[in-house]
Structure 1
Amino acid sequence: MRALVFTGPGVVEIREVAEPEVGDGEVLVHVVTSGICGSELHGVRTPGFRVPPLVMGHEFAGRTDDGTQVIVNPILSCGACDVCGMGLRNVCRKRQIVGVHRPGGFAERVAVPRRAITAPPVELDWTAAGIVEPAANAVHAWSLAGAPAGARVGVIGAGAIGLACLQVALSGGAAGIEVADHAESRRAIARGLGADAAVTELTGEYDVIFDAVGAAVTRERSLALLRPGGVAVWLGLAEAVAGFDAAGLVRGEKRVLGSFAYTDADFATAAGLVGGWDLSWVGTFPLLEGAAVFTTLMNGHSVPVKALLTP
């Protein structure tokens, strides 16, 4: 079968690979749509825990052998530790991720544990199905912030996660939402989705700020622009350095929350939301064009915001 394979630093290629072996407790998913994540672009540019050769792809949906539409939750936890027992299996110390630690959805078919698949509450079109995983990240971040209806919200970064945060905040009743991004094309998309303002840099004061970039400068801004007692939720992973004013955090009694992935409940909520979203910012491409699309995005092209590959 054909797959998009990460073969070395900065290189992805379409290759013929062996058919997946379906083990006990696993199911074969015929992939229909699989999203390219910013973490994968970074991981190919600067290899770390993604080790080539690897079929990546952790945002995907498809059908089982009997034709059932399924969405794959790629977080595989141990299910037995204290953290899993608290319902926080997304941060299980032993977690693995489909498309990182085992072959993922950039292929025609993939074997996954049966516990990783879920059928949406109603059958989704394939663009919406391919967006459930990134949307779940935004649902989780909104929940961590307290689902603050009536809040003044800032979003830093209008990539897929930032736009998902915007749409979740809109559905959650935020009083006003401003989005910051350096690309005018992405600012225009944010305005079209319902942002009250889309600017190069946030200004003013906010109750909640979502940092969907994760650079030292964006983390610093997310705290500097919070009202006293406000909360910054950090989703982005661009850099390891924080770079913020710790004294200002203390004196303003501000809070910083790290947000990684999602709970099972967040994933289910996202599956129920995305069918009603404007997804005009998502582009769909054949898997055979995947290497070119991936490389273009990896080299800084900002359109489309989210690319889905379709075997």
Structure 2
Amino acid sequence: MMRALVFTGPGVVEVDDVADPVVGSGEVLLHVAAAGICGSELHGVKTPGFRVPPLIMGHELAGMTDAGDPVVVNPILSCGRCDLCLRGLRQICRERQIIGVHRSGGFAERVSVPATAVRPLPSELGWERAAIVEPAANGVHAWSLSGRPEGGTVGIIGAGAIGLVCLAVALAKGAARVEVADRAASRLEAAARLGAHATVPALTGEYDVVFDAVGTPETHRQAVERLRPGGTTVWLGLANPEAGFDASGLVRTEKRIIGSFAYTDEEFEEAVGLVADWELHWVRSYPLDEGARIFTNLMEGGDSPIRALLRPN
């Protein structure tokens, strides 16, 4: 038996003793060292649908193999043979599955994952940084989709973990000015510490690129309105499916909206190197046994910490 944080029903997660994972053919047993709680999981437990209980979630994970190798897990599983996979677009494979969504994930002491999902880690990286690789890869992918506006102006809506990694990537890649909007003062403070040129309750300028890391009708509308003519907004947030923007204005000003889901294998590898130098004051670790309390607090609207990691071992 082992300890795990289990999604047991709408709005409920519980730490419990569960059976050890069965390691199948082509799989490896991972001793989890750290797993991040993603906002999509908070929403998924509060409003079940994509994730079906009972489920051990956790798609942002890193740990040690039985052989003693430190690894991080790329949770995107794909068929590997379709037209999209062969073009390097595994993240949008029509048969895509995700560790922690369609099968058990990292909110446990141990988890079995396909050997193809593990990526080696530099031994000096540390588990806290390793657990940030997956969200960081989302930021790398969003930057690529935006057209890589080196020397341009960037607006970011939402200073949660995804908004902050978009900020860190934009600064690393050469954006001339990055402004971040959020309603929570503590999150704006975190963005300022990471190097945002301005932190505001709402974007008011005109930007080459706007990243929407929230995903509500209101933020969708703001993201489109704040673009310069011909600009691009990249939507990463999944809070609400409604579009909420003026389609006529989109046509008249040739603005572009691009959805961003996950990352390519190359972008995931790039993220491993990027996080080594990041300031991670916005990340905090907790024992797995505190998982239900931490998860529930965040699910009910708590805004601290910005990214919580569960540490089983």
| Matching residue of 2:53 | 52
| Matching residue of 2:173 | 172
Shift of 1:32: 0.2
**Residue type matched to 2:229 in 1?**
P
Matches within 5 A, 1:159-308: 159-308=160-309
1:137·1:262 contact (CA, 8 Å) conserved in 2? yes
Hey, what's the Cα distance between the residues in 2 that align with 1:273 and 1:122?
A: 15
RMSD: 0.7
Shift of 1:121: 4.7
| Matching residue of 2:149 | 148
In structure 1, the gaps of 5 or more residues are none
| Matching residue of 1:43 | 44
Shift of 1:122: 5.5
| TM superposition score normalised by structure 1 | 0.99
Shift of 1:123: 3.6
**Residue type matched to 1:30 in 2?**
H
| TM superposition score normalised by structure 2 | 0.98
Number of residue pairs aligned between Structure 1 and Structure 2: 311
| Matching residue of 2:96 | 95
Hey, what's the Cα distance between the residues in 1 that align with 2:277 and 2:253?
A: 38
**Residue type matched to 1:12 in 2?**
V
Q: Per the alignment, in what secondary structure is the counterpart of residue 48 of structure 1?
A: coil
| Matching residue of 2:18 | 17
Hey, what's the Cα distance between the residues in 2 that align with 1:68 and 1:149?
A: 37
**Percent of residue pairs identical:** 66
1:8·1:53 contact (CA, 8 Å) conserved in 2? yes
Q: Deviations over 1:37-66 (max 9, x none)?
A: 000000000000211110000000000011
Hey, what's the Cα distance between the residues in 1 that align with 2:74 and 2:288?
A: 21
Q: Deviations over 1:261-299 (max 9, x none)?
A: 000011001001001000000010000000000000000
Deviant stretches of 4+, over 6 Å = none
Matches within 5 A, 1:128-143: 128-143=129-144
Q: Per the alignment, in what secondary structure is the counterpart of residue 260 of structure 1?
A: coil
2:70·2:123 contact (CA, 8 Å) conserved in 1? no
Hey, what's the Cα distance between the residues in 2 that align with 1:147 and 1:243?
A: 26
